[in-house]
Chains A and B, each alone.
Chain A
Amino acid sequence: MIRKLIYGTKCLLGREAPGRNLSVLDDDVFIASYPKSGNTWTRFLVANLIYPQEPVTFLNIEKIIPDPDLQSRNFLKHCPRPRVMKIHHPFDPRYKRVVCIVRDPRDVAVSQYHFQIKRAVLQPGHPIEDFVKRFVAGGTSPYGSWGQNVGSWLIARYNGPGFVLLRYEDLIENAVEGLAQIARLLNLEPDRHRLEKAVEFSSADRMRALEKLQADQWASTKETRIDLPFVRGAKAGEWKSTLSPDAVAQIEQEWGSLMRALGYKIETAGGEAKPSVLDLMEFPSP
């Protein structure tokens, strides 16, 4: 009852976060990813690209590239167009221009595990095998499992117009090139210098420094353990030293074909098993 009243008042004032009820506009651009796949870094990259004059920080990122699950309906309505928004939703046909960031699910698992400890959802020292088991079943996130979330976007939109697929690993390797692809989707024509500047302003080191200063003010970190960082290793392949062979096998067995299609090398025998609709699709060799 009380919750209904609060929510109702918020709706009246346009203060509720619309989430999936967002009124989508034709020129909206969405940065879509499964949680812990480099979405925040990509947001920084894009924000620094769009606003080269204004240094992007954790304090203004929510206003520059808002999240419809967090910001109010009123705020979103009055954002300058074209709006660029951040989401973790699986496929939504109303989103016509999408940058999809994917990351090796073995690293996503490790990153999400650490984030859940930071958020005190898990106790420190919680067995990671148990976490991976739930991760594979999609039980650790409200946005579906990694495979369902990523797969739903790929199967519906891959090769289609208005869809840019970027691997986190490739972004680390060559952020300027990845950002240039995003710029084309945004109809921007930045020169190399502007791209390099945006990459520089979004470096892991700079983001760590900003986090130190602003962690208590940013929505995603302020109610979490401040002694653990949000911006962690910012590298690929951490799973190799963190996950047990059994945990790796579980992930590969569930999503082997999708991982293969995305160019993530399968290490265990189990990953060869399941055929999938994705075997129909031709992906460029990474």
Chain B
Amino acid sequence: MMYGIKVVLGYWFGTDIADRNLAVRPDDTFIVSYPRSGNTWTRFLIANLLFPNTPVTFANIERLIPDTSSQSNRVLKRTPRPRFIKSHQYFDPRYPRVLYVVRDPRDLVLSYYNFQRKYRQIADDYPLANYVDDFVEGRLISADWGTWGENVASWIFTRQNRNSFLLLRYEDMKSDTEHELRRIATFLGLQVGPDRLQQAIAASSPERMRELEQAQSDQWVATQKHRKDIPFVGPAQSGRWHTELPQASVSKIESAWGSLMSTLEYPLATSNMNHTQMYNTPIQRQPLRTS
């Protein structure tokens, strides 16, 4: 009964979180990724590209590119069309146009570890190695979106090679942001010159995002109720796992998702792997990214 009342009130007042109950429109575009893969940065880049006259901040990002998992059906319904929507969902056949951001899971897990400490979902001194085991085996809250491998594979397999799907690697976005942002602009059908690209990149730099977070963390739904000593905007680097992730944890991740990682051109550090789970070898590289 309580559940029923909650559902009814949420439904009636439109305050229920959209998530998988979102009413998808044919002209929607989704920015999808596993959590901590650079989704917020990508949102900033795209919002700055789409709305060059509105400085994008944490105070208005949910209005410009709303998040399916924190915004209500009502907010999403009122977002002007065509809508650009952020999501962490695993494959949803209804999403018409998708930009998918993928990040090396060995870096992602480090970022997620800090994030869950920030949210007080794990104890501060929870051992990193245990955390990685939980991550791989799907025991964390994030497993609501599937494991990293399930989420990534479910999208890439069903949508690769389609004009309505753009696969982006966080690492490529870091190393050549302008090039990747131009691919995004082309995908979105935007005619933009180098000036506007550079302007969007500058307005979404980690330094600027850190400044904005300092000033506005109380105004953003993802940060307002959480501890402030661990920032949301992390170091924004790739390859930290080389020095910060224990060897056993690297093996753990690679033995679960090795072939998928190879497909995405993330070189594996452990050889002689014993694949116990999915994605059995042999590994065969496929031209996944079309540019």
A-to-B contact residues, CB < 8 Å: 4, 7-8, 11-14, 20-21, 90-94, 138, 143-145, 147-149, 151-152, 154-160, 274-282
Contact = CB atoms under 8 A, between A and B. Distances in A.
A21 B21 contact: yes
Nearest to A10: B4
B215 to A, nearest CB: 36
Given A93-B145, A155-B153, 11 more contacts: A7-B11, A91-B90, A93-B147, A94-B144, A148-B91, A152-B91, A275-B287, A277-B153, A277-B288, A280-B259, A280-B284
B286 interface: yes
Interface stretch (B119-127, B154-162, B243-251): B154-162
A138 B93 contact: yes
B144 A90 contact: no
Interface stretch (B58-66, B97-105, B232-240, B274-282): B274-282
Contacts of A92: 90
Contact of A156 (B5, B11, B153): B153
A156 B263 contact: no
A136 to B, nearest CB: 13
B174 interface: no
Contacts of B159: 148
Contact of A12 (B5, B145, B153): B5
B160 A277 contact: yes
A20 B145 CA distance: 13
Given A138-B93, A144-B93, A148-B158, A91 B150 contact: yes
A151 B158 contact: yes
A275 B150 CA distance: 20
Contact of B279 (A7, A11, A144, A281): A281
A4 B156 CA distance: 36
29 contacts: A4-B11, A8-B12, A11-B4, A12-B1, A12-B4, A12-B5, A21-B20, A90-B158, A93-B147, A93-B151, A94-B144, A144-B91, A144-B93, A148-B91, A148-B158, A148-B159, A151-B157, A152-B157, A154-B157, A158-B278, A159-B280, A160-B277, A277-B157, A277-B160, A277-B263, A277-B288, A280-B279, A280-B282, A281-B278
